[in-house]
Amino acid sequence: MHFSSDNWAGASPIVANALANAGNGFHPAYGADDLSRRITDRFCEVFERDVAVFFVATGTAANSLALASILKPGGIVLAHHQSHIAVDECGAPEFFTGGGKLVTLPGARGKLDAATVAAAIARYQPPAVHHGRPMAVSLTQASEAGTVYTPAEVATIAGVAHKAGLKLHMDGARFANALAALNVSPAEASWRSGVDVLSFGATKNGCWCAEAVVLFDPRGAEEFGYARKRSGQLISKSRFVAAQFEGYFEKGHWMDNAIHANHMATRLGSVIDETPGARLLFPVEANEVFAIWPSAVSARLRARGATFYDWPASGLEPGEGPGEGETVVRLVTSYATRLSDVAAFIEAFGEAVRP
Amino acid sequence: MHFSSDNWAGASPIVANALANAGNGFHPAYGADDLSRRITDRFCEVFERDVAVFFVATGTAANSLALASILKPGGIVLAHHQSHIAVDECGAPEFFTGGGKLVTLPGARGKLDAATVAAAIARYQPPAVHHGRPMAVSLTQASEAGTVYTPAEVATIAGVAHKAGLKLHMDGARFANALAALNVSPAEASWRSGVDVLSFGATKNGCWCAEAVVLFDPRGAEEFGYARKRSGQLISKSRFVAAQFEGYFEKGHWMDNAIHANHMATRLGSVIDETPGARLLFPVEANEVFAIWPSAVSARLRARGATFYDWPASGLEPGEGPGEGETVVRLVTSYATRLSDVAAFIEAFGEAVRP
Amino acid sequence: MHFSSDNWAGASPIVANALANAGNGFHPAYGADDLSRRITDRFCEVFERDVAVFFVATGTAANSLALASILKPGGIVLAHHQSHIAVDECGAPEFFTGGGKLVTLPGARGKLDAATVAAAIARYQPPAVHHGRPMAVSLTQASEAGTVYTPAEVATIAGVAHKAGLKLHMDGARFANALAALNVSPAEASWRSGVDVLSFGATKNGCWCAEAVVLFDPRGAEEFGYARKRSGQLISKSRFVAAQFEGYFEKGHWMDNAIHANHMATRLGSVIDETPGARLLFPVEANEVFAIWPSAVSARLRARGATFYDWPASGLEPGEGPGEGETVVRLVTSYATRLSDVAAFIEAFGEAVRP
Amino acid sequence: MHFSSDNWAGASPIVANALANAGNGFHPAYGADDLSRRITDRFCEVFERDVAVFFVATGTAANSLALASILKPGGIVLAHHQSHIAVDECGAPEFFTGGGKLVTLPGARGKLDAATVAAAIARYQPPAVHHGRPMAVSLTQASEAGTVYTPAEVATIAGVAHKAGLKLHMDGARFANALAALNVSPAEASWRSGVDVLSFGATKNGCWCAEAVVLFDPRGAEEFGYARKRSGQLISKSRFVAAQFEGYFEKGHWMDNAIHANHMATRLGSVIDETPGARLLFPVEANEVFAIWPSAVSARLRARGATFYDWPASGLEPGEGPGEGETVVRLVTSYATRLSDVAAFIEAFGEAVRP
């Protein structure tokens, strides 16, 4: 009954197999191998356009390099105050951008809205070097609250950003889960809605270590190549990432994984929602469930072998927090979450909440 | 007949198996899993002392973070002018150190000697903020010329460095090959000879992606942990690196790989050395062969399917370079180099050199 | 009638004279001259203890180098959301610290309080590399709202910071104005209240260009020297800064200047406070007046030749902002503000507010 | 008899006066004042074209910001191995460029030649991210050896650089001395010869603290403005720099100063050149004299009150260095060097060399 993180699962058998199959033979390093090239083509198919693709080692590196490809001196990134780049990356975006600044904004359910973004941008008018200049908006899809931006919402924010000369970055550590929730194409959820640069995560959804930055404007590729190498993110045996992506994209495996993960989260969420004494903090739209229940319930569930994290109330919006004696918890599902474990958890939960 | 790079091989079956076996089940992320902890213990055994171990994604990151853990503002790294950190890492050491400077030094056969290092340090006396301050010496073991520092040589340089308050970093991208050449223990080749921080590479010697920084003074661990995360090098599914190391260290697999690779290089080297019309540029001490022969020989070998790189003469010391119509070539062997390929190459070489 | 900024005045005659007197003769550069040394001694007297003093060119550099002397990788600075380092320095603190992060906190009247700081620190417990680590609290004295921390308030915040291992930085761009308001000694307002590093500004209070970083723990001096040089802040003809400080400290000139400036602000403030149709946004404690009045009043005053800036409402706390048709304005006085100009402004104001 | 550095002199009376005159009244800060604008116009006249001008506090900052305006990730600066940016700026160029790399090249008499630059650039062909990419050539005018590039030499190097896509930076800390030596116009010595960005130093030639970066392509101005502010180099009371430049440019004052300084150096140089037992290391072309003489001579001169620095032999080209018992010394003259001091030195020198 492991719901701590989608990072707790290993690689899916299909991905693991693809990697095992890439083991033999000699192939050029640093992305000049056929497999790596083929995967770039695969990304172009997936996104229905020419894209530049850069494998990197971590989601933090993907986000930070993506933002560094946008920001210039004095550059500011507008992001949700709960976003991964703002609170979970130890200043990596600031480091990679040589001192770029993150200005964090509030937003219900882990999401920014266009009006908030527009107001934030307006504060930098007229331009003055003292204040720096907003150059990017970063959205997390699915968000840190497990919610999902609709393409229309993304497009509206993109419109606000582009009008003011900002680029739109999407942190897609759980991009597949968002697609599964929205039932739209990757293109629709990204560049057709105005996304300029995408951090495309596959690690949480069935790989060992497969992250990529997707530039929808491939003219930035030369620049990005140097920036990636300079930050120690150019992997020598590139085919080991490429092989994982090969399995990942094979016959819709990635979407199967995400659909399963979301389905497991929906199950958990609907039971919690219907249970007196517990409630959902956010609607369950992807593969994360945020719930509030008495702290004693957590203790009882853990005693039964369930793992999950308490969620810090400090990051929540006013009014979102728990009451006296309550805790906010986060349950995360993944491709590897078994239906039997969900069932076992639900049973344990029922007993824990009505002891 | 692939001798382009030890990066062209995949993962060894033993390493690939170890990774495949780590696939199932749920384990904490970010290095808090049992396997990752076990591997840290394994490193302590291998090095016969308490060490702090940090997995990272690339050798460039290992070197750059290692140096960043040593340098303070104005800090200078003294390194060989052919060293990987100086010419193959796109400024990553400068980037990770926030503007640290590499001062490169000459040295025969790809190696620094203690007198050169001492003279370089002396230039910064008396201290003056204008010039910066040397804070680290970095040695590459085995060197970029395929040669190896003896423990006594390392210890002498370490003595010079430590006396002046500098730390000694070792770029061990081919550390196993050096050990195999020297037939000494890992401890002897590193901290017992005065190495303070080691970039421990396993990727070139049979892994997909397994690099580590080893701090022989574990008190630097807290600092390093933040620095690693901030640079996007904290891998979420840490066990995927740990699993590779598990296979790597199993029953001396890593040393078997290195011994084999060195043996293949020695074979190639001795044949070249004995062949009129060709000569060795450097003694073959690890898994790299640097040779000088007529450019036509290269063309004929490539026509027979051999792959290898020309080596830029520009980086060589005075007197090391090729003559008119000659080329410097580099042949690299690895765990995966087959004896049959070496034999085929030798045959092709014999014909190419006496057409 | 210039109330735009204390940066709009030139240098006071006493400071200008001191500089003119330092013009002749040959003296060692880079701070090795007698005058620069004498001024360091003067700082030690002023602060009643051994301090290390570093001249720099700007307040932004002073703050950024001060913070860089404290922060390590993953380091976070806690600061007021209206603070200069957060909103007026174009990311310089992030740049100088190699990617340090500013986490901004609310606080009435431009000031942080100890409880808010303590709560912010508590969010980083238990430590996790993902979140980074708070390493400094930065207070602005006098604050961006023209208010002043009492020594007791500083000491309470310092206690919270030190207990958690953080250092306390004070941005003293208007330190003299704060001293004048508090009528306490420089020592009392700084290290005796727990300040570790002080940005000591003199430019706004009568110099052309004289800023210094004061380290109350002089052991950091070697480090700081390299950091300053590396950031292009080591001024070659150091005596030109030293000479300004000589005039500044002569016979209490700096305090005379600050007392005058504060007095001028108090006059303006009390008149505004008593005038129906206008009100003070913050109490006038130093040399800045923040007022709210009908936008038409501003237009009328400007038509009469008064200069002052509108103040963005966006940075204010909830409840602090202006009503419909109102503007927030900032009036700043300095050593150079003439009583006659204050009188003229007051008269113009009276007519503008009751047209 | 002070010949230690042109940094040892104060400000010239004309410059000091101009600054004193700018003392009164209220003027906008941060370069928005009339005087600062007028000086920008003056620069346009001086250079006979539209330029963007940025005042900064130090030559180190000027060089570092200039290079940062050119370099992108992986960027490399080619510079002479004795250049100020390489050996006297404590890593500032690396810091400001976020990890740019300086690759240093040899060259007789402190100067690069076009063939050396071309060969260095050629080493980076074909491009590979590993090696980084040369993006700038930096020349020092006058050079660190007191020699001067002719416009033709600059143009040839510029041709090589531009052809390969590199920009040409000129470190003009002693630009006026070079102009005086060459007797050509500022335009001829800079953009007409292919210089893209110029560090225009005035501090050594009669100011307290007046350095500027001149962009011959003003389109880079917006970018530069943010970069300058972010590095703490935007001086608040901008007119204090502008005023110095006003005096500096008044009636050819700057050229008068430089001509005088060069003349004093020529006198010293010709005497040394004609004196048995001493010799010039480099031809005296600007305001620096490099000489080799017995170490005892230095001691005797210093006993007579002369100040000058020994020059490290380590940085010299092969064959340039001193013999046994000899020292390399550097004598620097400035606008403030008195003819009487030169005469006194020459007399003392005559006695010291033939005791």
Which pLDDT belongs to residue B266?
98
Instruction: Give the tokens for residue B342.
Output: 């070496």
Residue B321 has pLDDT above 90, yes or no: no
d(CA D202, CA D173): 7
By Cβ distance, the residue of A95, A119, A123 closest to C98 is: A95
CB-based contact, D226 to chain A, within 8 Å: yes
Phi then psi dihedrals of residue A137, to 5 deg = -110, 135
Which residues are registered as beta bridge partners of B290?
B330
Compute the nearest-CA separation of C58 from chain A (Å).
13
**Which segments of B4-120 are extended strands (E)?**
52-56, 75-80, 101-105
- Quick one: DSSP state of residue D317? P
Q: Span B47-59, mean pLDDT?
A: 98
Tell me which DSSP letter residue A64 carries.
H
Separation of alpha carbons B265 and A291, rounded Å: 61
| Tokens (6 digits) for B176 | 């196993």
Whole-angstrom distance, CA of residue B258 vs CA of residue B124: 39
pLDDT at D317 over 80: no
**What average pLDDT does the segment C207-219 reach?**
97
Beta carbons of C236 and D59 less than 8 Å apart: yes
Task: State the smallest CA–CA distance between residue B123 and chain D in angstroms.
Answer: 7
Euclidean distance between CA atoms D167 and D70, whole angstroms? 7
Range with the poorest average pLDDT among A15-29, D77-91, D133-147: A15-29
| DSSP assignment of C136-162 | EEEEESS-TTS----HHHHHHHHHHHH
**Are the beta carbons of C84 and C109 closer than 8 angstroms?**
no
**If DSSP codes are grouped into helix, strand and coil, which group holds residue B59?**
helix
Structure tokens at B287: 């898994």
CA distance D63 to chain B (A): 14
pLDDT at D310 over 80: yes
CB contact under 8 A, B133 and C98: no
Rounded to the nearest angstrom, the minimum Cα separation between C192 and chain D is 29
Q: What is the per-residue pLDDT across B262-287, written as a single tens digit (0 to 9) for each?
A: 999 999 999 999 999 899 999 999 99
Domains of chain D in sequence order: 12-251 (3.40.640.10), 254-352 (3.90.1150.10)
Judge whether B18 and B39 are in contact, CB under 8 Å.
no
Find the mean pLDDT for residues D292-297.
Answer: 95
Task: Write down the pLDDT at residue D315.
Answer: 66
Residue B23 pLDDT grade (very low, low, confident, very high; cuts 50, 70, 90): confident
* Rounded-to-integer distance, Cα C341 and Cα C3, Å: 10
Average pLDDT, chain C: 96
CB contact under 8 A, B9 and A2: no
Average pLDDT per block of 10 residues along chain A, 355 residues long: 93 96 90 95 98 98 98 98 96 96 96 97 95 98 97 98 98 98 98 98 97 96 97 96 97 98 98 94 97 96 96 74 89 97 96 87
Would you place residue B315 in the very low, low, confident or very high pLDDT band (cuts 50, 70, 90)? low
D131 vs B: CB within 8 A:
yes
Residue found under tokens 């113009």: C348
Q: Work out the pLDDT band at B186, boundaries 50, 70, 90.
A: very high
DSSP state, residue A2 = B
In 3D space, the residue among D161, B173, D231, D202 whose CA is nearest the CA of residue C98 turns out to be: D231
Does C133 sit within 8 Å of B229, measured CB to CB? no
Q: For residue C74, give the nearest of B75, B99, B230 by CB distance.
A: B230
Contacts of C132 in chain B (CB under 8 A): 226, 230
C73 vs B72, B133, B227: nearest CB: B227
Which pLDDT tens digit goes with each residue over C323-352?
889 999 999 999 999 999 999 999 999 999
Interface contact A57, partner B, CB < 8 A: yes
Task: Give me the residue from D24, D90, D234 closest to C229, CB to CB.
Answer: D90
ipTM: 0.96
Q: What is the pLDDT confidence band of residue B354, given thresholds at 50, 70 and 90?
A: confident
DSSP state of C307: B
Count other Cβ atoms within 10 Å, centred on residue B50: 12
- Average pLDDT along chain B: 96
Predicted pLDDT at B1: 87
The answer, yes or no, to whether the previous bond of D313 is cis (omega within 30 of 0) is no
Residue B323's contacts (CB-CB under 8 Å, 6 or more residues apart) are B292
Neighbouring residues of D294: CB distance < 8 A, sequence distance ≥ 6: D277, D325, D326, D327, D353
Q: How far is C134 from chain D (nearest CA, A)?
A: 22
Q: Does the CB of D186 have a partner CB in chain B at under 8 Å?
A: no
Going by C-alpha positions, the residue among C21, C2, C7 that lies closest to residue C205 is: C7
Chains that touch D (3 or more CB pairs under 8 A): A, B, C
- A25/B10 CB distance under 8 A: yes
A251 in contact with chain C, both atoms CB, cutoff 8 A: no
Q: Find the residue in D nearest to C60 (Cα).
A: D232
pLDDT tens per residue across span B103-120: 999 999 999 999 999 999
Peptide bond into D126 cis (omega under 30): yes
Distance from CA of A152 to the nearest CA of B (A): 31
Q: Is D98 near chain A, with CB under 8 Å?
A: yes
- Give the mean pLDDT of B13-37: 93
Q: Chains C and D: how many Cβ contacts under 8 Å?
A: 161
- Collect all residues of chain A within an 8 Å Cβ-Cβ radius of residue C99: 91-92, 94-99
Is beta strand D75-80 parallel, antiparallel or unpaired with respect to C326-332? unpaired
